[in-house]
Amino acid sequence: MDSRVSKIAPSLAAAPLDRLGKVVSELEQARVDYIHFDVEDGSFTPVMTLGTRIIKDLRPLSQIPFDVHLMMVEPEWLLPELKAYGADRVAVHLEACPYPRRTLRKIAALDMKPGLALNPVTPLPDLSYLQPYLKYIILLSTEPEVPDCPFIPEVLDKIRIGVEQDVLDELEWVVDGGVNAGNIEGVFSAGADTVVVGRSTFAGESIHSNIKNLRKAIDQRGIFTRE
């Protein structure tokens, strides 16, 4: 049996923004592993949902690690602010960083966990030169086509390729976009360690029930170790 702990990171971009304090409390009760923030610039990605102040305002409400995904060009200038606001880990996009090793080093120097995100169209590159800074990879499994963006299963091939590389063995593999109870088991079967879940967390009335259903779907392989 696979002994990995499968982690869930609800994305606040899909949460009801008029009651985020209550949302964070419910996520605490559901014992999720991360709270995921998408910070967008409207240029690199054609939407703008959350800014950085929400990180600052919500930080006192939770001990859950704050997982920040910068979907923006020229992200380096924002890193000290994210550290001051309480971010625990920060991922930048390979497509937006001409010098990714430098950017990851800056994140690490601020005592945050450095990650790298890849759009669905981007092949998995040679990542060995990014060590020792790179700690996790976010693979986007949707594109911003429509409000209910469909999951792209071909993205999982990148994980299968990556986990076979010894030099990448210690990385955390994250899949972000369109994950639900119907496909989550396949995502973890491909080798993912963490899923970012937005719509599947906040649909309906009960966050706790939604997280429970996701864990139940994961437990088809018996790899989720929490109650």
Task: Give the residue numbers marked as catalytic.
Answer: 38, 176
DSSP 104-156: HHHHHHTT-EEEEEE-TTSPP---GGGTTT--EEEEE---SSSTTPPP-GGGH
For the record, the structure tokens of 60 come out as 């006192």
| Main-chain phi, psi angles of 40, to 5 degrees | -115, 155
Structural contact between residues 30 and 211, judged by C-beta atoms closer than 8 angstroms: yes
